[in-house]
């Protein structure tokens, strides 16, 4: 998720099932309108502090995170009190009545959460977090990431990635580098939708040169 610090104009972010616990890198994404964070490790609703100044945020999917707690009403009211501009929360439309009720039942968040030892969006591994990550099987993680990546590729008019080719960049909770590589890939695919024909040609030329350099390096190593 740290890649978002360098993407201030991004509009849609999909980071579901990625072990994310810190939303601070999103606080500069002023054009962000849709944010999908289902099934991550977000422990505190205080992380909403980083989203409060995003004027265009209309869709948030935060369900199945530890911060949702055991009281669905309190959770929803707190989110809506702090993000009153939302039109949809967890795939459910927000009503005017809910926004009014949130002023009464929701908790106002005025400060960010306590600092944690997090680097590049990959929290330190602990016994508890490792145990939590095992609740999602590797097959479920791969299927979900493959589905979302192929959805993005479909919107770009690209062919879907076969399952047997996806494992090389599948986000594995115990492999931070591989997870980060997948996040970067999805961010690039999303940004490509903003490019015109000239921009896409530049990307194509750059990718071609990079591929040639990698192939030349592989030949030298052999």
Tens digit of each residue's pLDDT (9 = 90 or more) over 66-121: 999 999 999 999 999 999 999 999 989 999 999 999 999 999 999 988 765 544 44
The answer to which of 14-18, 154-158, 174-178, 194-198 has the lowest mean pLDDT is 174-178
C-alpha 123/C-alpha 121 separation (Å) is 6
Average pLDDT across the chain, whole number: 77
Give the residue from 82, 92, 27 showing the smallest Cα distance to 59.
92
Query: β-pairing, 12-14 with 34-36?
Result: parallel
The answer to which of 7-11, 83-87, 135-139 has the lowest mean pLDDT is 135-139
Q: Is the pTM of this model over 0.85?
A: no
List Cβ neighbours of 222 (8 Å cut-off, separation of 6 or more): none
What pLDDT does 49 receive?
Answer: 94
User: Is residue 215 pLDDT above 90, yes or no?
Assistant: no
What pLDDT does 201 receive?
Answer: 83
Looking at per-residue pLDDT, the higher value among 47 and 15 belongs to 47
Dihedral, 37, 40, 41, 43 alpha carbons, nearest 10 = 40
C-alpha 16/C-alpha 18 separation (Å) is 6
Instruction: Match 């591929």 to its residue by tokens.
Output: 211
What pLDDT does 148 receive?
Answer: 63
Instruction: Match 């009464």 to its residue by tokens.
Output: 104
User: Is residue 196 pLDDT above 50, yes or no?
Assistant: yes
Give the mean pLDDT of 146-152: 65
What pLDDT does 136 receive?
Answer: 44
Instruction: Match 């509009």 to its residue by tokens.
Output: 11
Neighbours of 102 (CB within 10 A): 21
Dihedral, 11, 175, 45, 26 alpha carbons, nearest 10 = -30
User: Is residue 186 pLDDT above 80, yes or no?
Assistant: no
> Binning pLDDT at 50, 70 and 90, where does residue 13 land?
confident
Give the residue from 7, 13, 79, 68 showing the smallest Cα distance to 41.
68
Looking at per-residue pLDDT, the higher value among 197 and 152 belongs to 197
Give the mean pLDDT of 13-26: 88
What pLDDT does 106 receive?
Answer: 93
> Binning pLDDT at 50, 70 and 90, where does residue 213 land?
confident
Q: HEC states along the chain?
A: CHHHHHCCCCCEEECCCCCCCCCHHHCCCCCCCEEECCCCCCCCHHHHHHHCCCCCCCEEECCCCHHHCCCHHHHHHHHHHHCCCCCEECCEECCHHHHHHHHHHCCCCCCCCCCCCEECCEECCCHHHHHHHCCCCHHHHHHHHHHHHHHHHHHCCCCCCCHHHHHHHCCCCCCHHHHHHHHHHHHHHHHHCCCCHHHHHHHHHHHHHHHHHHHHHHHHHC
What pLDDT does 180 receive?
Answer: 64
């Amino acid at each position: 998720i740290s890649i978002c610090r360098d993407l201030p104009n991004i509009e849609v972010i999909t980071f579901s099932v990625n072990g994310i616990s810190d939303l601070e890198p999103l606080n500069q994404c002023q054009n962000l309108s849709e944010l999908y964070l289902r099934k991550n490790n977000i422990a505190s609703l205080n992380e909403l502090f980083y989203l409060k100044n995003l004027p265009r945020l209309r869709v948030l999917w935060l369900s199945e995170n530890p911060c949702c707690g055991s009281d669905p009403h309190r959770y929803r009211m707190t989110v809506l009190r702090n993000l009153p501009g939302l039109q949809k929360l967890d795939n459910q439309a927000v009503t005017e009545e809910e926004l009014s009720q949130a002023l009464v039942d929701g908790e106002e968040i005025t400060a960010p959460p306590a600092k944690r030892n997090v680097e590049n969006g990959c929290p330190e591994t602990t016994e508890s977090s490792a145990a939590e990550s095992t609740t999602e099987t590797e097959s479920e993680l791969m299927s979900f990431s493959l589905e979302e990546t192929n959805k993005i590729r479909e919107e770009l008019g690209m062919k879907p990635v076969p399952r047997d080719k996806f494992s090389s960049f599948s986000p594995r909770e115990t492999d931070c580098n591989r997870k980060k590589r997948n996040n970067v890939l999805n961010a690039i695919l999303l940004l490509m939708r903003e490019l015109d024909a000239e921009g896409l040609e530049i990307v194509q030329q750059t990718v071609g040169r990079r591929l040639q350099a990698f192939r030349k390096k592989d030949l030298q190593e052999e």
